[in-house]
Amino acid sequence: MQAAEAVIEHPGQPLFHSLAGTPHAPHAPSRSVDLLNRIARSWSHRAQVKKNEPDTLIDAGTDLPEFLEHLLPFHEHPRYQALDTDTKMRILSCGWIIYNEKTVAIELDIVSPVCQDILYDNVPGLDNELSKEIVCETLVDEAYHLLLVKNANRITRQRRQLEHIRIPQFALVRQMREEQDRHMPSWAGLLVRLSTAVVSEIFISDYLHQLSEETSIQPLNRATVAAHRHDELAHSKIFSELTRNFYHALGSTQKGFFASMLPKSIHWFADQELDLWLDVLQQLGVPGAQAMVEECRELNRVALDRLDYSGVVKLASEVGILDSAEGHAAFRNARLI
Ligand SMILES: [Fe+2]
Ligand SMILES: [Fe+2]
Protein backbone atom coordinates (compact mmCIF):
# COMPACT_ATOMS: atom_id res chain seq x y z
CA MET A 1 0.00 0.00 0.00
CA GLN A 2 1.34 3.43 -0.92
CA ALA A 3 1.37 6.09 1.80
CA ALA A 4 -1.10 8.23 -0.16
CA GLU A 5 -3.58 5.35 -0.31
CA ALA A 6 -3.17 4.80 3.40
CA VAL A 7 -4.26 8.34 4.15
CA ILE A 8 -7.32 7.94 1.91
CA GLU A 9 -8.19 4.59 3.44
CA HIS A 10 -7.85 5.78 7.00
CA PRO A 11 -9.13 9.33 7.34
CA GLY A 12 -8.42 10.65 10.79
CA GLN A 13 -5.98 7.89 11.68
CA PRO A 14 -2.93 9.59 13.19
CA LEU A 15 -0.82 6.52 12.43
CA PHE A 16 -0.91 7.13 8.71
CA HIS A 17 -1.34 10.90 8.67
CA SER A 18 1.91 11.19 10.61
CA LEU A 19 3.72 9.60 7.67
CA ALA A 20 3.33 12.17 4.97
CA GLY A 21 6.29 14.46 4.50
CA THR A 22 7.99 13.65 7.79
CA PRO A 23 11.67 13.71 6.85
CA HIS A 24 13.12 12.47 10.14
CA ALA A 25 11.94 10.22 12.90
CA PRO A 26 10.73 12.72 15.50
CA HIS A 27 11.24 10.41 18.47
CA ALA A 28 14.41 8.66 17.36
CA PRO A 29 16.87 8.75 20.27
CA SER A 30 20.25 10.04 19.08
CA ARG A 31 22.03 6.95 20.44
CA SER A 32 19.79 4.79 18.28
CA VAL A 33 20.39 6.97 15.22
CA ASP A 34 24.16 6.75 15.83
CA LEU A 35 24.00 2.98 16.05
CA LEU A 36 21.89 2.66 12.89
CA ASN A 37 24.33 4.97 11.13
CA ARG A 38 27.29 2.82 12.10
CA ILE A 39 25.50 -0.37 11.01
CA ALA A 40 24.56 1.22 7.67
CA ARG A 41 28.13 2.46 7.06
CA SER A 42 29.65 -0.97 7.81
CA TRP A 43 27.39 -2.87 5.40
CA SER A 44 29.81 -2.98 2.47
CA HIS A 45 32.49 -4.62 4.69
CA ARG A 46 30.13 -6.85 6.62
CA ALA A 47 27.58 -8.13 4.11
CA GLN A 48 28.01 -11.72 3.00
CA VAL A 49 26.73 -10.84 -0.48
CA LYS A 50 30.00 -8.94 -0.97
CA LYS A 51 32.04 -12.04 -0.16
CA ASN A 52 32.62 -15.36 -1.89
CA GLU A 53 29.73 -17.78 -1.67
CA PRO A 54 30.21 -21.04 0.25
CA ASP A 55 31.88 -23.58 -2.04
CA THR A 56 29.00 -25.70 -3.35
CA LEU A 57 31.49 -28.31 -4.52
CA ILE A 58 32.31 -29.30 -0.93
CA ASP A 59 30.77 -32.74 -0.81
CA ALA A 60 31.39 -35.07 2.08
CA GLY A 61 29.52 -37.94 0.40
CA THR A 62 26.31 -39.30 1.81
CA ASP A 63 27.60 -40.72 5.09
CA LEU A 64 27.51 -37.42 6.97
CA PRO A 65 23.96 -36.37 7.82
CA GLU A 66 22.46 -33.13 6.53
CA PHE A 67 20.94 -32.16 9.86
CA LEU A 68 21.00 -32.75 13.62
CA GLU A 69 18.76 -35.42 15.09
CA HIS A 70 18.01 -33.50 18.28
CA LEU A 71 16.40 -30.71 16.22
CA LEU A 72 13.68 -33.09 14.99
CA PRO A 73 10.59 -32.45 17.18
CA PHE A 74 9.94 -36.21 17.46
CA HIS A 75 13.54 -37.44 17.90
CA GLU A 76 12.88 -38.92 21.34
CA HIS A 77 9.74 -40.76 20.24
CA PRO A 78 10.14 -44.58 20.30
CA ARG A 79 8.61 -44.89 16.81
CA TYR A 80 11.32 -42.62 15.41
CA GLN A 81 14.09 -44.33 17.33
CA ALA A 82 12.93 -47.72 16.00
CA LEU A 83 13.27 -46.64 12.34
CA ASP A 84 16.09 -48.05 10.21
CA THR A 85 19.20 -45.94 9.54
CA ASP A 86 18.32 -45.22 5.91
CA THR A 87 14.87 -43.85 6.81
CA LYS A 88 16.37 -41.74 9.58
CA MET A 89 18.90 -40.27 7.12
CA ARG A 90 16.08 -39.38 4.71
CA ILE A 91 14.17 -37.73 7.55
CA LEU A 92 17.27 -35.77 8.58
CA SER A 93 17.72 -34.63 4.98
CA CYS A 94 14.12 -33.39 5.01
CA GLY A 95 14.86 -31.69 8.33
CA TRP A 96 17.56 -29.66 6.57
CA ILE A 97 15.25 -28.85 3.65
CA ILE A 98 12.49 -27.75 6.07
CA TYR A 99 14.97 -25.71 8.12
CA ASN A 100 15.99 -23.83 4.98
CA GLU A 101 12.43 -23.43 3.73
CA LYS A 102 11.51 -21.85 7.07
CA THR A 103 14.13 -19.19 6.42
CA VAL A 104 12.70 -18.73 2.90
CA ALA A 105 9.23 -18.21 4.41
CA ILE A 106 10.61 -15.71 6.91
CA GLU A 107 12.43 -13.78 4.17
CA LEU A 108 9.63 -13.85 1.58
CA ASP A 109 6.44 -13.72 3.64
CA ILE A 110 7.49 -11.71 6.69
CA VAL A 111 10.70 -9.66 6.48
CA SER A 112 10.69 -8.51 2.84
CA PRO A 113 7.03 -7.31 2.96
CA VAL A 114 7.86 -5.33 6.12
CA CYS A 115 10.86 -3.79 4.38
CA GLN A 116 8.48 -2.75 1.58
CA ASP A 117 6.06 -1.28 4.12
CA ILE A 118 8.91 0.85 5.45
CA LEU A 119 10.13 1.92 1.99
CA TYR A 120 6.56 2.92 1.04
CA ASP A 121 6.43 5.21 4.13
CA ASN A 122 3.76 3.10 5.78
CA VAL A 123 5.57 2.80 9.11
CA PRO A 124 5.67 5.97 11.20
CA GLY A 125 9.00 6.87 12.73
CA LEU A 126 10.84 5.05 9.94
CA ASP A 127 9.96 7.47 7.13
CA ASN A 128 13.47 8.87 6.99
CA GLU A 129 16.46 8.33 4.73
CA LEU A 130 18.61 6.47 7.27
CA SER A 131 15.91 3.88 7.93
CA LYS A 132 15.33 3.42 4.22
CA GLU A 133 19.05 3.04 3.47
CA ILE A 134 19.42 0.34 6.10
CA VAL A 135 16.23 -1.37 4.97
CA CYS A 136 17.51 -1.46 1.36
CA GLU A 137 20.73 -3.08 2.60
CA THR A 138 18.67 -5.59 4.59
CA LEU A 139 16.58 -6.44 1.52
CA VAL A 140 19.77 -7.16 -0.45
CA ASP A 141 21.00 -9.40 2.40
CA GLU A 142 17.70 -11.28 2.48
CA ALA A 143 17.68 -11.79 -1.30
CA TYR A 144 21.19 -13.23 -1.00
CA HIS A 145 20.05 -15.58 1.78
CA LEU A 146 17.36 -16.89 -0.54
CA LEU A 147 20.08 -17.71 -3.09
CA LEU A 148 22.20 -19.45 -0.42
CA VAL A 149 19.47 -21.63 1.02
CA LYS A 150 17.83 -22.44 -2.32
CA ASN A 151 21.24 -23.57 -3.65
CA ALA A 152 21.79 -25.65 -0.52
CA ASN A 153 18.38 -27.29 -0.80
CA ARG A 154 18.83 -28.06 -4.48
CA ILE A 155 22.12 -29.84 -3.74
CA THR A 156 20.59 -31.82 -0.86
CA ARG A 157 17.53 -32.78 -2.90
CA GLN A 158 19.77 -34.07 -5.72
CA ARG A 159 22.25 -35.84 -3.39
CA ARG A 160 19.46 -37.59 -1.47
CA GLN A 161 16.94 -38.09 -4.32
CA LEU A 162 14.37 -35.93 -2.56
CA GLU A 163 13.39 -33.72 -5.52
CA HIS A 164 9.74 -34.81 -5.15
CA ILE A 165 9.27 -33.64 -1.54
CA ARG A 166 6.96 -30.64 -1.27
CA ILE A 167 7.01 -28.40 1.81
CA PRO A 168 3.57 -27.11 2.84
CA GLN A 169 2.87 -23.73 4.44
CA PHE A 170 4.55 -23.07 7.80
CA ALA A 171 2.35 -22.60 10.89
CA LEU A 172 4.42 -19.47 11.56
CA VAL A 173 3.11 -17.84 8.37
CA ARG A 174 -0.40 -19.35 8.58
CA GLN A 175 -0.95 -18.11 12.13
CA MET A 176 0.36 -14.64 11.27
CA ARG A 177 -2.05 -14.42 8.30
CA GLU A 178 -5.00 -15.71 10.33
CA GLU A 179 -4.28 -13.00 12.90
CA GLN A 180 -4.12 -10.36 10.14
CA ASP A 181 -7.50 -11.54 8.83
CA ARG A 182 -9.08 -11.15 12.29
CA HIS A 183 -8.59 -7.37 12.29
CA MET A 184 -10.36 -4.87 10.09
CA PRO A 185 -8.10 -1.81 9.83
CA SER A 186 -5.21 -2.33 7.43
CA TRP A 187 -2.83 -0.73 9.94
CA ALA A 188 -3.57 -3.75 12.16
CA GLY A 189 -2.45 -6.18 9.46
CA LEU A 190 0.70 -4.13 8.99
CA LEU A 191 1.47 -4.19 12.72
CA VAL A 192 0.87 -7.96 12.95
CA ARG A 193 3.48 -8.47 10.22
CA LEU A 194 5.82 -5.90 11.76
CA SER A 195 5.65 -7.66 15.13
CA THR A 196 6.31 -11.04 13.48
CA ALA A 197 9.26 -9.58 11.57
CA VAL A 198 10.82 -8.05 14.69
CA VAL A 199 10.48 -11.31 16.62
CA SER A 200 11.75 -13.41 13.70
CA GLU A 201 14.77 -11.19 13.12
CA ILE A 202 15.69 -11.35 16.79
CA PHE A 203 15.22 -15.14 16.99
CA ILE A 204 16.76 -16.16 13.69
CA SER A 205 20.37 -15.75 14.89
CA ASP A 206 19.77 -18.33 17.61
CA TYR A 207 17.87 -20.52 15.12
CA LEU A 208 20.91 -20.46 12.82
CA HIS A 209 23.41 -20.85 15.66
CA GLN A 210 22.02 -24.36 16.16
CA LEU A 211 23.99 -25.40 13.03
CA SER A 212 26.48 -22.63 12.22
CA GLU A 213 29.36 -24.31 14.11
CA GLU A 214 28.22 -27.90 13.84
CA THR A 215 30.97 -30.22 12.54
CA SER A 216 28.92 -33.42 12.51
CA ILE A 217 26.78 -32.36 9.52
CA GLN A 218 27.60 -31.75 5.85
CA PRO A 219 30.25 -28.96 5.69
CA LEU A 220 28.36 -27.03 3.01
CA ASN A 221 25.33 -26.92 5.30
CA ARG A 222 27.40 -25.52 8.14
CA ALA A 223 29.04 -22.94 5.84
CA THR A 224 25.67 -21.88 4.42
CA VAL A 225 24.17 -21.35 7.87
CA ALA A 226 27.30 -19.58 9.17
CA ALA A 227 27.23 -17.08 6.26
CA HIS A 228 23.53 -16.42 6.82
CA ARG A 229 23.99 -16.00 10.57
CA HIS A 230 26.74 -13.46 10.07
CA ASP A 231 24.23 -11.11 8.41
CA GLU A 232 21.45 -11.93 10.84
CA LEU A 233 23.50 -10.87 13.84
CA ALA A 234 23.40 -7.38 12.35
CA HIS A 235 19.71 -7.71 11.43
CA SER A 236 18.71 -8.42 15.02
CA LYS A 237 20.35 -5.14 16.06
CA ILE A 238 18.74 -3.33 13.12
CA PHE A 239 15.22 -4.52 13.91
CA SER A 240 15.67 -3.77 17.60
CA GLU A 241 16.69 -0.20 16.79
CA LEU A 242 13.91 0.20 14.21
CA THR A 243 11.45 -0.92 16.90
CA ARG A 244 12.70 1.78 19.28
CA ASN A 245 12.10 4.33 16.53
CA PHE A 246 8.66 3.30 15.27
CA TYR A 247 7.05 2.31 18.58
CA HIS A 248 7.19 5.85 19.95
CA ALA A 249 5.73 7.22 16.73
CA LEU A 250 2.60 5.02 16.98
CA GLY A 251 -0.70 6.29 18.33
CA SER A 252 -1.80 4.90 21.71
CA THR A 253 -4.26 2.40 20.16
CA GLN A 254 -1.60 1.12 17.80
CA LYS A 255 0.97 0.90 20.63
CA GLY A 256 -1.36 -1.33 22.63
CA PHE A 257 -2.12 -3.44 19.58
CA PHE A 258 1.57 -3.89 18.70
CA ALA A 259 2.38 -4.79 22.31
CA SER A 260 -0.31 -7.48 22.27
CA MET A 261 1.08 -8.96 19.05
CA LEU A 262 4.67 -9.51 20.25
CA PRO A 263 3.88 -12.45 22.59
CA LYS A 264 1.73 -14.03 19.87
CA SER A 265 4.57 -13.72 17.37
CA ILE A 266 6.91 -15.44 19.84
CA HIS A 267 4.49 -18.36 20.11
CA TRP A 268 4.16 -18.60 16.31
CA PHE A 269 7.95 -18.69 15.91
CA ALA A 270 8.30 -21.36 18.61
CA ASP A 271 5.77 -23.66 16.88
CA GLN A 272 7.31 -27.07 16.20
CA GLU A 273 5.57 -27.29 12.79
CA LEU A 274 4.15 -30.75 13.49
CA ASP A 275 1.44 -30.55 10.79
CA LEU A 276 4.08 -29.73 8.20
CA TRP A 277 6.25 -32.56 9.48
CA LEU A 278 3.36 -35.04 9.28
CA ASP A 279 2.81 -34.09 5.64
CA VAL A 280 6.52 -34.60 4.83
CA LEU A 281 6.79 -37.87 6.79
CA GLN A 282 3.78 -39.19 4.87
CA GLN A 283 5.42 -38.15 1.58
CA LEU A 284 8.46 -40.18 2.69
CA GLY A 285 6.20 -43.15 3.50
CA VAL A 286 7.37 -43.34 7.12
CA PRO A 287 5.31 -46.02 8.90
CA GLY A 288 3.32 -44.85 11.93
CA ALA A 289 3.94 -41.17 11.14
CA GLN A 290 0.41 -40.07 12.07
CA ALA A 291 0.47 -41.75 15.47
CA MET A 292 3.97 -40.48 16.21
CA VAL A 293 3.12 -36.88 15.40
CA GLU A 294 -0.16 -37.02 17.33
CA GLU A 295 1.71 -38.31 20.36
CA CYS A 296 4.12 -35.35 20.07
CA ARG A 297 1.37 -32.69 20.16
CA GLU A 298 1.95 -32.14 23.86
CA LEU A 299 5.54 -31.18 23.02
CA ASN A 300 4.29 -28.30 20.90
CA ARG A 301 2.39 -26.89 23.86
CA VAL A 302 5.67 -26.48 25.74
CA ALA A 303 7.75 -25.51 22.69
CA LEU A 304 8.23 -22.08 24.23
CA ASP A 305 10.27 -23.62 27.03
CA ARG A 306 13.04 -24.43 24.56
CA LEU A 307 13.23 -20.92 23.12
CA ASP A 308 15.29 -18.12 24.65
CA TYR A 309 12.87 -15.22 24.33
CA SER A 310 14.77 -12.98 26.76
CA GLY A 311 15.95 -10.74 23.88
CA VAL A 312 12.38 -9.82 22.93
CA VAL A 313 11.39 -9.27 26.57
CA LYS A 314 14.48 -7.05 27.06
CA LEU A 315 13.59 -5.04 23.94
CA ALA A 316 9.98 -4.67 25.13
CA SER A 317 11.25 -3.46 28.47
CA GLU A 318 13.76 -0.98 27.00
CA VAL A 319 11.28 0.41 24.47
CA GLY A 320 8.70 1.00 27.21
CA ILE A 321 6.22 -1.64 26.03
CA LEU A 322 6.22 -3.33 29.44
CA ASP A 323 5.48 0.02 31.09
CA SER A 324 2.07 0.12 29.41
CA ALA A 325 -0.83 -1.76 31.01
CA GLU A 326 -1.62 -3.57 27.74
CA GLY A 327 1.99 -4.52 27.08
CA HIS A 328 2.58 -5.79 30.60
CA ALA A 329 -0.67 -7.78 30.59
CA ALA A 330 0.07 -9.28 27.16
CA PHE A 331 3.51 -10.51 28.21
CA ARG A 332 2.31 -11.69 31.62
CA ASN A 333 -0.70 -13.57 30.18
CA ALA A 334 1.62 -15.25 27.69
CA ARG A 335 3.83 -16.32 30.65
CA LEU A 336 6.82 -14.48 29.17
CA ILE A 337 7.41 -12.37 32.31
FE1 LIG B 1 18.05 -13.73 6.28
FE1 LIG C 1 17.30 -11.00 8.33
Give pLDDT tens digits for 143-197. Answer: 999 999 999 999 999 999 999 999 999 999 999 999 999 998 989 999 999 999 9
Mean pLDDT value of segment 305-328: 91
| Backbone conformation region of residue 166, classed left if phi is above 0, alpha if psi is from -120 to 50, else beta | beta
Going from N- to C-terminal start, the domains of the chain cover 28-50+85-333
Residue 29 binned pLDDT confidence (cut-offs 50, 70, 90): low
Give the Cα separation of 22 and 17 in Å (integer). Answer: 10
Give residue 40 CA to ligand 2 midpoint distance, Å.
Answer: 14
3-state secondary structure 182-251: CCCCHHHHHHHHHHHHHHHHHHHHHHHHHHHCCCCCCHHHHHHHHHHHHHHHHHHHHHHHHHHHHHCCCC
pLDDT at 220 over 70: yes
For residue 237, give the ligand nearest its CA.
Answer: 2
Q: Are 138 and 115 in contact (CB under 8 A)?
A: yes
Give residue 290 CA to ligand 1 midpoint distance, Å.
Answer: 32
Residue 19 binned pLDDT confidence (cut-offs 50, 70, 90): very low
pLDDT, mean over the chain: 90
pLDDT at 23 over 80: no
Q: Are 278 and 289 in contact (CB under 8 A)?
A: yes
For residue 239, give the ligand nearest its CA.
Answer: 2
pLDDT at 4 over 90: no
Q: Does 32 or 56 have the greater pLDDT score? A: 32
Residue closest to 142 by CA, chosen among 194, 105, 173: 105
Residue closest to 152 by CA, chosen among 66, 251, 210: 66
Give pLDDT tens digits for 47-64. Answer: 999 998 888 777 778 889
- Class at the top of the CATH hierarchy for domain 28-50+85-333: mainly alpha
Give residue 152 CA to ligand 1 midpoint distance, Å.
Answer: 14
Instruction: Kindly state the greatest CA–CA separation across the chain.
Output: 64
Give residue 18 CA to ligand 1 midpoint distance, Å.
Answer: 30
Does residue 297 sit in helix, strand or coil?
helix
pLDDT at 237 over 60: yes
